[in-house]
Amino acid sequence: MTREQIAERIKIDPNVCFGKPVVRGTRIWVSLVVDNLAEGVAEQELLEAYPQLTREDLRACLGYAAEMTRERVLPVPVERMA
């Protein structure tokens, strides 16, 4: 998914959900979607729980998360070989 396609579906507004990234037209946080997918919740289950979402919205959330990993450094412990 391109950055333009992600921008069509993800919105950041300081007046909505404290400025957290949400799926456009909803108050559903991108992090909520990504957390659920990471926990193993099936796409279909998410779509049933949040009927205002589409499969493209879920892909946009993952695309946004992927972009964020390119832009920020998260401290991850490095395992040392014994």
CA 31/CA 14 separation, integer angstroms: 16
Could you tell me the CA-to-CA distances from 70 to 17, 54, 81 in Å, in that order? 24, 25, 27
Give residue 74's pLDDT: 56
Question: Domain boundaries in the chain?
Answer: 3-70
pLDDT surpasses 80 at 23: yes
- pLDDT (tens digit per residue) in 35-73: 999 999 999 999 999 999 999 999 999 999 998 888 665
pLDDT surpasses 60 at 8: yes
Task: Tell me the CATH number for domain 3-70.
Answer: 1.10.10.10
High-pLDDT (> 90) share of the chain, %: 66
Task: Return the beta strands (E) in 7-55 as ranges.
Answer: 10-11, 22-23
pLDDT grade, residue 2 (50/70/90)? confident
